Amino acid sequence: MNGKKICVIGLGYIGLPTSAMFATHGCKVHGVDVNKQVVDALNQGKIVIEEPYLDIMVQAAVRSGHLKADTKPQEADAFIIAVPTPKNEDNTADMSCVVSSAEMIVPYLRKGNLVILESTSPAGTVENLLVPILEKSGLKIGEELFVGHSPERVLPGRILWELVNNNRIIGGINRESAEKIRDLYKIFVNGEIYLTTATTAEMCKLMENTYRDVNIALANELAKICEKVGINAWEVIELANKHPRVNLHQPGPGVGGHCLAIDPWFIIEKNPDLARIIKMSRDTNESMPQHVLGRIDAILKNIKGSRKVTILGIAYKPNIDDTRESPILKLIDLLDKKGNYKISVYDPHVKSYKYQARNLIEAAEDSDLIVLAVNHDEFKYLPLDDMGNVMRNKILFDTRNFFNRYDVENKGFRYELLGEGETNGAKLDGFIV
């Protein structure tokens, strides 16, 4: 057991699993959160977010006395800042939580300590924002206080496995800082750890998510084009990806989550004239809820007066309870604004939300259209017979290519697919075996 004392600021999606991981590897972890409810729950071994196995791990860490939570920091060997960096209305980074966390730890800093920023931040944050605050401790930065950026790369739903096994990039403000931070993370990381400068690590993190956002935008653009041309984008993608150097991503109703929908903006903010593809990709992905609304309008164009739409799934991606930046929330807002839509929503993962139905059948009652918005596992085998019995019109609009068209049509439903347009020419379905 290594006995290191670690103070983690921010007990959310990243700070909490990281705390639990250090605590179950023999460290004494003092978790800090401004939200007293989170602190109280944690001290009872409970968690307020959904992530496989995290509850068991947190419970073990708290029971063993290795993990405690508080609203104030304590002296420690290392301080990890894992607070949100949301974007403002004008798409600039809101760094207020990073600033207040850094200010909060200054009185507790001692010679030899490490300060690590985990929060995703615009390139240059450690050097230009964090270091000037930490200098108030009177310690010589890089000699007496070691500072750097260690971005997480974990995927919600697989956080615990990925925390341990993913490669990690650690950027220091000098080599000694990077090496000391690496030694700390080696306590639980099995993946390779690569060292670089703090600003390179920050840009690297932003580009990883931007790469994905840009590629999804390309797929979404293709989906719109295929709808117009009268072919199926999913077939194009499947066939194009048989090329050994092509990996087209999947279209969908938009890009959500606290990473892909936000991080590219941190690059655009600092480089507005240069980040042109990045900006266009953001615009394309943000246009998808509006595009889905257009498809819904077109599918239901023959219904005069009020129509009812049933939305399945509200989380930003499958099998999680996280609705941050969910494009489905935007779609619901757009439907609301049209005024002629009744809406019902069902998501087995999310606890409470607008237009919430208790189950699939209640959600389908008097509905004209089911929109499969999130491909949760629970939706794979929908009780279409029972749902169809209570619907006014039996139509299903699949925004994720989740269902088999023929299974849906066999249940007497009309099947509509995002990324597929009506064709007057050859019908290509079924050619791919």
User: Counting contacts by CB under 6 A, is residue 257 touching ligand SAJ?
Assistant: yes
Question: Are 25 and 32 in contact, with CB atoms under 8 Å apart?
Answer: no
- Which of 317, 330, 376, 394 lies at the binding interface for ligand SAJ (CB under 6 A)? 317
Q: Is 260 in the site for ligand SAJ (CB under 6 A)?
A: yes
Residues 97-136 that bind ligand SAJ (CB under 6 A): 120
Nearer to ligand SAJ, 393 or 401 (CB): 401
**H-state helical runs in 76-146:** 96-105, 125, 131-134
Which residue, 303, 413, 427, 318, is CA-closest to 373?
A: 318
Contact between 249 and ligand SAJ per CB under 6 A: yes
4, 28, 180, 205: the active-site residue: 205
Evaluate whether 369 touches 331 at the Cβ level (below 8 Å): no
- The span of 151-159, 340-348, 381-389, 425-433 binding ligand SAJ (CB under 6 A) equals 151-159
- Give me Rg for the CA atoms of the chain: 24
Among 266, 316, 341, 346, binds ligand SAJ (CB under 6 A): 316
**SS3 state of residue 69:** strand
Catalytic-role residue among 259, 317, 330, 394:
259
Asked whether the beta carbons of 402 and 380 are under 8 A apart, the reply is yes
C-alpha–C-alpha distance, residues 371 and 136, integer Å: 54
Q: Which stretch binds ligand SAJ (CB under 6 A): 247-255, 264-272, 291-299, 357-365?
A: 247-255
Separation CA 15–CA 154 (nearest Å): 12
153 is a site residue for ligand SAJ (CB under 6 A) = yes
| 134: Cβ contacts below 8 Å, ≥ 6 apart | 102, 106, 109, 115, 141, 145, 147
CA triple 183-188-193, angle to 5 deg: 55
Q: Rule CB under 6 A: is residue 259 a binding residue for ligand SAJ?
A: yes
Nearby residues of 65 by Cβ (< 8 Å), 6 or more positions away: none
Give yes or no for residue 154 binding ligand SAJ (CB under 6 A).
yes
Phi, psi of 116 (to 5 degrees): -125, 125
Among 51, 77, 127, 152, binds ligand SAJ (CB under 6 A): 152
Is 259 labeled as catalytic in the residue annotation? Answer: yes
Contacts of ligand SAJ in 268-287 (CB under 6 A): none
Structure tokens at 121: 């931040």
Binding of residue 17 to ligand SAJ (CB under 6 A): no
Residue 311 lies near ligand SAJ (rule: CB under 6 A)? no
226 in catalytic set: no
Q: Which of residues 191-220 bind ligand SAJ (CB under 6 A)?
A: 208-209, 212, 216
The residue number whose beta carbon is nearest to ligand SAJ equals: 259
Strand-pairing partners, residue 149, are 117, 171
Binding site for ligand SAJ (CB under 6 A): 120, 152-156, 208-209, 212, 216, 249-250, 252, 255-257, 259-260, 316-317
Name the residues annotated as catalytic: 205, 259
